[in-house]
Structures are given as structure tokens and as C-alpha cells.
């Protein structure tokens, strides 16, 4: 089934269930019930915000450029929605959608980052690499050439050696443990 057909079927299923958008008062009432341990209220809040997941995902670059199937992206988004519903407490007159939207986006991004590489890098390293790549592109446009590591480090307000470490993470190829063990075995036999 094509991804658009799957998405249409998914959204039609939600419409058949008659899931409407909740008012702020209804969201706050559900939040109070959730805080008191009401699982049914949690389920209601989640179900009424399933369309939000699709709305958020369609705005993300992962929707267009990722090789991850649409149903997997939706599942990741739904997981983020569930986590947001469990942690949300209404404050500062903010609605659930504002809070959950950021949570969904962050959860999907982290899931994709974790599954993207053969060897998973810590989240802070992945975010630093993204920031470095963004800054590098911006400098390249401004300068009309590739920026030097020192220029990049100055723009990011980090030591120059930090740029080298981040570039090392990008360029480093995974090495098989068998290769390492064979090399060590060969070295001990030579002695």
C-alpha cells in the first residue's frame, strides 16, 4: 500500500471514531483526572490528539527525506504523544497541542538519530554535529568558500579541537571487532 493510501486510511479511521479537537477546558479537566491516576482520561487525551501527530510529522523533514516507512514515523510520533500526555501539566494557559507538538518532534528526531547510524552516538554529540553542519553551511554562504575549523569554532563559540572531534565522528568508519582481534593476535605472534 502506498504511503499516501496508508495515511488516508489512518486519518479516515480517526474520523470514523468521531474524535474531535478538545477545548482547553476539556484538556485541563482531563489533565486533572490524569494527575489523579485516571487511565481512561489519559487514553481520551491521547486519542483526541492523534491527528496532531500526523500534522507535526508532515512539517518535519523526516516525512519527506527519510527512508523510514510512514507507518513507522507515525508510530514514533504516537510514542512521543503518549509520553507528552503522561507528563503534561497545564500551566501558563498553554494548550496540550503546544506542549505535545514539541515533544513529538523531539521524540521522532531522537528515534531517527538513534536508528540512522550503524553505531549510535550520544544525543548531545548528534545535536552538536547538526549545529556544526548548519553553522558550516551558513558560513560557506557568507564567505563564498569552505570555512576553516578556526572560523567555525569562533562562530560556534567552542574550542577548535572540538570541531576536529566532531568532524572525526562524521568521518570515522566502523571497524569490525574481528579485525581488531586479528590484528592483536598477529602482533602477539610476531613477538
pLDDT, tens digit (0-9, with 9 covering 90-100), for 103-118 = 898 888 888 776 665 5
Q: What percent of the chain has pLDDT over 70?
A: 75
172 versus 140: the higher-pLDDT residue is 140
Largest CA distance in the chain: 77
pLDDT of 2 over the 60 cut: no
Average confidence (pLDDT) over 44-48: 90
pLDDT of 82 over the 90 cut: yes
Show Cβ contacts of residue 111 under 8 Å, excluding neighbours closer than 6 positions: 76, 79
pLDDT of 91 over the 70 cut: yes
Written as nine digits, the cell of 9 is 486510511
In order of 110, 181, 182, 183, 184, the CA distances from 189 in angstroms are 45, 12, 10, 10, 9
Residues 89 and 99: their CA atoms lie apart, in Å, by 9
pLDDT of 136 over the 80 cut: yes
Res. 67 pLDDT band, cuts 50 70 90: confident
Res. 1 pLDDT band, cuts 50 70 90: very low
State which of 12-26, 81-95, 118-132, 146-160 shows the largest mean pLDDT: 146-160
| Phi, psi values for residue 49, rounded to 5° | -120, 15
In order of 77, 96, 184, the CA distances from 106 in angstroms are 9, 15, 42
Task: Give the predicted TM-score (pTM) of the model.
Answer: 0.61
92 versus 89: the higher-pLDDT residue is 89
9 versus 119: the higher-pLDDT residue is 9
Q: What is the pLDDT of residue 118?
A: 58
pLDDT of 164 over the 90 cut: no
Res. 150 pLDDT band, cuts 50 70 90: very high
Written as nine digits, the cell of 49 is 490528539
Domains of the chain: 3-116 (1.20.120.1810), 123-190 (1.10.10.10)
Amino acid at each position: 500500500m502506498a504511503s499516501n493510501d496508508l495515511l488516508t486510511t489512518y486519518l479516515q479511521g480517526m474520523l470514523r471514531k468521531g474524535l474531535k479537537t478538545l477545548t482547553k477546558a476539556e484538556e485541563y479537566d482531563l489533565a486533572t483526572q490524569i494527575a489523579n491516576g485516571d487511565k481512561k482520561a489519559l487514553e481520551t487525551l491521547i486519542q483526541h490528539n492523534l491527528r496532531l501527530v500526523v500534522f507535526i510529522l508532515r512539517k518535519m523533514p523526516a516525512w519527506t527525506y527519510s527512508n523510514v516507512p510512514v507507518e513507522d514515523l507515525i508510530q514514533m510520533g504516537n510514542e512521543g504523544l503518549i509520553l507528552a500526555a503522561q507528563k503534561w501539566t497545564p500551566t501558563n494557559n498553554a494548550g496540550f497541542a503546544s506542549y505535545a507538538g514539541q515533544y513529538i518532534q523531539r521524540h521522532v528526531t531522537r528515534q531517527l538519530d538513534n536508528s540512522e547510524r550503524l553505531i549510535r552516538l550520544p544525543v548531545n554529540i548528534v545535536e552538536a554535529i547538526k549545529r556544526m553542519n548548519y553553522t558550516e553551511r551558513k558560513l560557506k554562504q557568507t564567505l563564498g568558500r569552505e570555512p576553516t575549523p578556526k572560523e567555525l569554532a569562533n562562530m560556534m563559540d567552542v574550542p577548535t579541537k572540538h570541531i576536529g572531534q566532531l568532524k572525526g565522528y562524521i568521518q570515522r568508519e566502523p571497524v569490525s571487532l574481528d579485525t581488531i582481534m586479528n590484528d592483536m593476535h598477529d602482533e602477539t605472534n610476531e613477538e
